[in-house]
Structure 1
Amino acid sequence: MSCYKISEASINKQDWQDILTLFANTDSAEDERQAVQQAIANLEHLVGIQIGSQHDLARNQIASNRYGQMDCVDEATNTSVYLRMLENAGVLTWHTTASRMSRGIFQGQAPHNTATMIDTQTQIRYAVDSWFYENGKAPVIINLDEWMSGWEPEQQ
């Protein structure tokens, strides 16, 4: 398997500080998950402008091999990188990053991938899935067991 395109991007100091500030008042794991959602959305937006994925649509809405459209492998990879960046910055106090997960192949569903993180107090593992929504929108954070069962958000 290979990617069509691999890009490099950077976050300027002010934008990075703004993202880290989202975690300033996280007093619980739930607060931290909400901060992670906003941080991932902001990072997607900032990176999207640099690499040409700012118009990435929800799911796999590919029309005419649309440049900048990402699949779930792209989304899971990028979200995993963002989670590791946040963890390395020391702002994740209630969670730790974990490996990407896949579902579908053995469940009779279409294959799908997601980034994950683990609540350090409860050991509950969460899917952090940005594929369901367009670039810059907050990802779904849901119990991994529920995600593995085939969960999807209601169509809007």
Structure 2
Amino acid sequence: MKLPAALVLALLVLAGGVDGALAGDAVSVCYNYGCLVQGDVVFSNGELRRVRALLGDAQSPVHERALLGVAVGWMLGWAGQRLPINADRAGNLADEGVDGRMDCIDHSTTTTRLLRLLEARGWLRFHRVLEPVQRTRGLIFDHFSAQIEEKAADNSAPADEEVLARRYVVDSWYVDNGQPAPVLALQRWQSGDGPDDD
């Protein structure tokens, strides 16, 4: 007796033969500045298993943030094997005019989508994903980044007075495609600091 394809897939998911109900979900990746172009990327089960294993090692919020930077770098690197974003270089000057370049709008949007995929799969133990955040320096210098928030010990949302201290940016704009994304305290980033400002 031949089983319907949907039933076979459901049985594989239940048996653990497919990496969860979200296997095959496409993540839309923005590039060429301001999300001018978007391309869908479907990560392989092997790639997703690797990310799950990496994040599964997180022992603390600090450790998870470090691992998230690596995971985002991997995922953008794999996306660069499918889309021209492999040409993306840190900042906006080194790849000016190149197909696949990404500005901070492209990075913040795409990184947020990647983090949401990880969150939806239950792979974030210590953080929740927030909407991208903006900082303004002067009248015309805006910068955007993906943003996460450390959960309270009981997984509740932090008290109002703790909110800013528990927020971090995951800012892949600072690095070349495929490199670990810097994760910085939101307050430090809002003041204009980058990953090299110690």
- TM-score by length of structure 2 reads 0.72
Alignment map for 1:101-140 (pairs within 5 Å): 101-104=133-136, 107-108=138-139, 110-121=141-152, 123=163, 124-140=166-182
Alignment map for 1:1-156 (pairs within 5 Å): 3-61=35-93, 65-104=97-136, 107-108=138-139, 110-121=141-152, 123=163, 124-154=166-196
**Unaligned residue ranges in structure 2 (runs of 5+):** 1-32, 153-157
Kindly indicate whether the alpha-carbon contact (under 8 Å) linking 1:109 and 1:150 is maintained by their aligned counterparts in 2.
no
Give the structure with higher Rg (CA). 2
Fraction of identical pairs, as percent: 26
More displaced 10-residue stretch of structure 1: 57-66 or 77-86: 57-66
For these two proteins, the number of residue pairs brought into alignment is 154
Q: CA RMSD in A?
A: 1.9
Q: 1:153 to 1:34 in 2, by over 3 A?
A: closer
Find the aligned partners of 1:5 and 1:146 in 2 and give their Cα distance.
Answer: 31
Q: 1:114 to 1:95 in 2, by over 3 A?
A: same
Q: How much has 1:64 moved relative to structure 2?
A: 5.8
Q: 1:113 to 1:2 in 2, by over 3 A?
A: closer
Q: 1:26 to 1:154 in 2, by over 3 A?
A: closer
Q: How much has 1:108 moved relative to structure 2?
A: 4.6
Kindly indicate whether the alpha-carbon contact (under 8 Å) linking 1:62 and 1:69 is maintained by their aligned counterparts in 2.
no
Find the aligned partners of 2:46 and 2:180 in 1 and give their Cα distance.
Answer: 21
Divergent runs of 4+, >6 A: none
